[in-house]
Every structure is written in C-alpha cells, then in structure tokens.
A and B are shown apart, each in its own frame.
Chain A
Amino acid sequence: MLDEALRSLQAYLYATPQGEFLRTAKWGWPIFESLHFVGMSVLLGTVGMFDLRLLGFARGIPIAALHRLIPLGISAYVLNAITGFCFLSATPDQYLFNLAFRWKVTFFIVAGFNVMFFYARVFNRLQTLDPNAAPPLAARIAGAVSLCAWIGVMSAGRLLTFFRP
C-alpha cells in the first residue's frame, strides 16, 4: 500500500518542471546544494543560537530581543524547503526509498511538534523573565529538543548518499 503510494508520488514528482530543471541545468544541482547549505547555516545561526540561549547559555541577553532572530530563521527554513523539494522532485527514487531520508523526515516532525510546544506553553512565560535568571525547565527542554532535532536533520541529510536505494 505505502509502497504503491510512494511509487505514484515518485512518478508524479519526476515529471514536475522543477525536477526536470534540476536534472538538466548544467550547474543547477551544485548551486541549489550550496543554497541549501547557506540556509542550513543561517537556520543554525538563528534558531540554533536561540536554542542555546534557552538552555541557559549567554545569559544576560533578553530572550525577547534575541527572538528577533527567528524571522530570519524562518526565511532560511523556507529557502531550504524550496531547494529541498527541488532535490526530491529531481530524483525522487533516491529519497522516497532511502532510510536516511525517513530519519530526516522524523527529525523534522520532532522539530515541528517542539515548535508547537514552545509557543503554546513556554514562550509567553519567557517574555518577562529576568535576562540573568536561569531559564525554566520547559524552556531548557524545548531548546535541547530543537538543537538535537536540527543536528539530527543535518546528520541524516549528510547520510543520504550512503543509504541510496
């Protein structure tokens, strides 16, 4: 069942214009890959640095002020979602049946639920927190889960080529 659904998704993605573009444009793939790595670094430089602050690192920085990094992180995320979707469309068979890709998606889901948990339960309490105070446990957990999830995403991404189907 799942296999059948993935096969039809594979056929659909393969035929898309962005997939065709990335397979045929001369320097398309390396340029998109470089952009994907730039996005990754900006994501870690914004969301990752914010996560470190949630863990209690760099106390003295008001969390609400540092949170202004996040919109830049979201832009980087969007850049990587677009470039990533293009890779997936260009060679869908290399991803859909790849164990490392499934791990990468799993880490995305963990990161996504963690974002929901953070904004639903933690963020409001941090607005008024003394910048020098120890962050509450819930903030530390959200920061740790986020950092681990993104390191997991990067590691699984790097392993893609070693798990080619």
Chain B
Amino acid sequence: MDPLLSWIEATALSTWLRESPSLWVFPFVLILHTVGLAFFVGANVAWDVRALGFLRGVKFQSLDRYFHVMWAGFWINAFSGVLLLIAYPTKALTNPLFYVKLTLIGVGIVLAMRIHRQMHTRPSADVEALPSGVRTLAAASLACWAAVIFAGRFLAYTCTRLMVDYPC
C-alpha cells in the first residue's frame, strides 16, 4: 500500500492541505468535520430520543425535516473527511480503528433509515407507546454514534504512522 500512500501524499492537494499556514485550510477542514459531526449525530439523537418514546406530542412526520439536517451533516463530513484523508492518508489507512469507524458509521446509517421507515409505517404510533423493536433500534443507534465518536477521537492517539516516512 505504501506506493499509493506516497503518491497521495505527494499530490499538490495533499501537500497544500498539510503545509498551508492559513487557518482557512487544515484547521477549517477540522472545524467543518466537527460542526458537521455535531449536526449529523445531533439530528440522530433527536430522532432516537423520539423513537425511545420521549417527546410525545411531536409527530414523527414533523421530525422529517431533521432527517435533512442529518444528511446535510453527513455530506459535510463526507467532504471534510475525504480532505482529511487526502492530507494524511497513511495516518488513517494504516490504523485498523479507521476501518472500525467507517463500519460503525455504515451501521449507524442503516439503523437511522430503519428507524425512519418503522416510524413512518405506523401513523398511529404518534399517540401510542412505540413497539419495543423501535426502541431497541434507537438505543442501538445512540450506542453506535457514541462508538463512532470514541473511534474518531482515539484515531489521534492510536496511529502508528503519520506519513509514509514519519512515525506518529
């Protein structure tokens, strides 16, 4: 894999992202990734809280708009995440935890879509207690997003190689 990593690190985009002294380059991408995370996971938290049975009086359909917030956060983070990966490909791709994080994000999105679908196929559930299946999904979703955040933060502490030729 090293030749590929070296090649990415040598590209103009990767070099610029790493070496530009401007706060509007690397730090700004980090800010995007953090704010995007807060909206992405935050919108999921709002959904999960409702799916757990709190917030009676808030109709499921009316929470649909927050589904858009979740996707907006997702795309901000996909974009900023790819830029971070281009800046330091070795740091992420040589760390097994990075693949755990990506897998957990996939699981989280599948759970969010299942919760969304289940709530929509039960129009009467707005006033009734939700079936326990939905609550289990919501609890799993919350646990999954917490795990994504832990995995993401621990990436910075468990990397072994910062770049092809530099240890962490």
Contact = CB atoms under 8 A, between A and B. Distances in A.
Interface of A: 27, 29-31, 33-34, 37-38, 40-46, 48-49, 52, 57-58, 60-62, 64-66, 68-69, 72, 150-151, 154-155, 157-159, 162
Contacts of A41: 37-38, 41-42, 45, 145, 149
B100 interface: no
Contact of B65 (A30, A44, A57, A68): A57
B63 A162 contact: no
Q: In terms of DSSP, what is the predominant structure of the interface of chain A? A: helix
B149 A34 contact: yes
Contact of A65 (B45, B55, B149): B55
A159 B35 CA distance: 12
Q: Which of B65, B145, B156 has its CB near the most chain A CB atoms (within 10 A)?
A: B65
A161 to B, nearest CB: 9
B46 A68 contact: no
B63 A61 contact: yes
Contact of A162 (B23, B54, B61, B146): B23
A155 to B, nearest CB: 5
Interface of B is mostly: helix
A45 B58 contact: no
B38 A52 contact: no
A69 B49 contact: yes
A159 B43 contact: no
Interface of B: 23, 27, 30-31, 34-35, 37-39, 41-46, 49, 54-59, 61-63, 65-66, 69, 145-146, 149-150, 152-154, 156-157
Nearest to A68: B55
A154 B42 contact: no
Given A58-B66, A154-B31, A45 B42 contact: yes
A48 B54 CA distance: 18
A58 B152 CA distance: 30
A49 B62 contact: no
B62 A159 contact: no
Contacts of A65: 55-58
B66 A49 contact: yes
Contact of A62 (B54, B58, B65): B58
A72 B49 contact: yes
A46 B43 CA distance: 8
B31 A158 contact: yes
Contacts of A37: 34, 37, 149, 152-153
Contacts of A58: 62-63, 65-66
